[in-house]
Chain A
C-alpha cells in the first residue's frame, strides 16, 4: 500500500492550482452577473480538458487519479470549473473512451480530448431524474438513422457543448423499461435542436445549466454507442465517472472552506482573542479537517480502482455521497465562522455554500446514494460484469504518442 502521490500527480496539482488562482477573480465577476464565465478556452489551452484520456486519443495520458486531483483543485476555485470536467470528461469523453468504436473515438473522442470540442451528458428530463429508467424521450429507427424527439433538462454545459451523450427510449415495448434505452453521440449543432440556459439558479451561477429540445433530429446509426437496448448500462457507467469527479470536486470545496475558515478565524478577534481560540470554532475547523481527509481518501480509492481496472461503482457512489454532504456542512460552517461577512459576496464562502447545495442533488441525489449503499451492504445489489469494461490505466499505452 502506498499513500504517496507521485511526482507527476504533485506537479499536476501545482499547475491546476495555479490556474484556479487565475480563474477566481473572473469567477467572482461572472457568478455575480449570473453568466457562464469564459474560462473553457483557457482550460482547453492548458490541456485540462484532456486529463483522463490516453495520448493516442488526443488526451494528456494522465490517469484517473490525476482526473480526481484536477477536479479537487478546480472546485477549490469554483464548482463550475469542476462541472466542466464532470460532464465534458466524466460523462462524455470517457463514455466514448469506454464504449465507443475505434471510428467513434477517432471522430469524437480525439477533438474532445484535445479541447477543440466540448462535450456534455444529457440524461435527465423535465419529468424524470432519479427514476431514469422511465425517461420519455424517443429515438425511432428509420433506415440508417434514428429520429430523436423529446427534451432534456438540467443539463450542464447545455448552451456551450458541441457534442452530447444522449440516452433515449428506442424500444417502448421492452419488457423492462430500462432495457428499452439506447445511447447516442449527438452533434448539438444538428438541425432540430434548440437549447438554452436556466436562469435563477441557487448556485453554479458562473456556469451553464440548461435545457436541450430535440425535434426530429436525425442521428446516423453509426453514432449509437454500444448496442441497442444497452443505454441504461452505458448511462450508469457514465455516472461512475461523473460521481467520481463530483466527489473529488466536493473534496476541494471542503478544503477551500477549511482554508478560508482558518484564515479568518486567526484574524478575527472577539472577547480579546482570535475567534480560532474559542472551542466552538475549533470544533468546526476540526470537523472540516476530518471530513477533508476522509473525502479525499474515498475518492482517491475510487480513482485507484479505475486505474487498476476494477469497478469503482460502489466507491464512487460512496465518495460522492460523503463528500457532497461534508462539503455542504463545511461551506455552511465556513459562512458561520465568517459571521455577517460570510453572508455577503465580499468573501467566497457564501458562493461555496450555494455551489455545494447542487451536488447533493445531481449525479444521483444523496437519497439515491443512501439506498445504493444500503443495498450493497445488504447484498441486494452487486456489480455484474459489463460487456465492455472501462480500460485500466497503463502508463506505457496511455502515453504512447
Chain B
C-alpha cells in the first residue's frame, strides 16, 4: 500500500472531510457510490456502497428454464457476455451430463477469447480516461471493440446480448465466412493492441499516474478473494484456463501473464499482455476448428436435469465467474448463485485506496475493471 505522509499530523489538528462520490459519477463505471474520508488530499477511509443495480438476478434465474436463463446471464455481465453464458451452460451441461460436440467447443473458445479482447479494450480505454487521458485512448479502444462487436453481430445477431450459447452447444452455426472474418478481426485487433500499448504503456504521464499506486500484496489479494488480472498483477499465476482447464484450453499453448508489483500499472500491463495471449489462443483454435455438428444428436425440446448440484467456474476477463446451481429435477434451477469476480475484486478497494490521494482513488477503482451489473446482479 502506498504510504503518503499526512503532512499536518503533528502540526495542528485538522478535521477530516467526508466526500460523497457517486452513484451518478462518470468515473464509477456504473452506479457505484463511495464515501471518502479525506484529510486534505489524502484518503483516510473508503466506504463503498453497492446494490444500486440489484435486480434480484439470482432469484429471477430460478424462475427461468435453462434456455431462458441464458439471456439473463448476458445481463449480469454486459462486457463479457459469452464468458458469463459459458459458465451457465457448462453448469447445466454438467448437471444434465450432456456431451458437447467438438466444433461447438472450439467456437465457444474463440468467442470467449474474442469477448475477452473486447472487454479488455473497453478496460484500456476507460482506464485511460480514469488516468486523465481524456478521450484519445477511449475512442481508439472503442474503434477496436467495434470491429469485434460487428463480428459478434454477424454470428449471433445482436451486438450486446448475444444469447448464443445453449446447453449442449450453440444456438446455430457460425456463418460460412467465419474464418475470413476472424482473421480480419485479429488483424485489426493486433494493430489495436499495438496502439494501446504504444499510447499508454511507456507514456511518462500515464506512468506517473499509475506506478506504485493502489498496491496490494499477493497475500492480501488472495485473502480478499481477488481473481483474474487483479490477482495476477500481484504475482500469483492463477488462471483457471491453466490450473483447471475447461473446454480445450489444455491443448493450447499460451502464457499466464503475471505482474510483480501489484500496483495499478501492473494491472494495466497484465491485461494488455493478456490480450496478446488471447490473439494467440484464437489463432490456435482457428487451426483446430473442423466442420461438424454444433448440438448433440438427441436433445430434448425441454431440457430437464436430474437432481444434483454443481459449482462451475471459468476464467472470465475479470476473474473467476462461477455458477453454483442446485437442481431438484425439472427444467429450471432450484437455486442459482453467481460467484461474481468483480464483487470479490471490489472488496480489495478499501485496502488499496487508504493512504493514497483522492485523485488516485478514481484510478484505483478503474484498475479493478468492475462491471456494476455483475457486482450487484
Are the chains A and B members of one assembly? Answer: no
Chain A residues with a Cβ under 8 A of chain B:
none
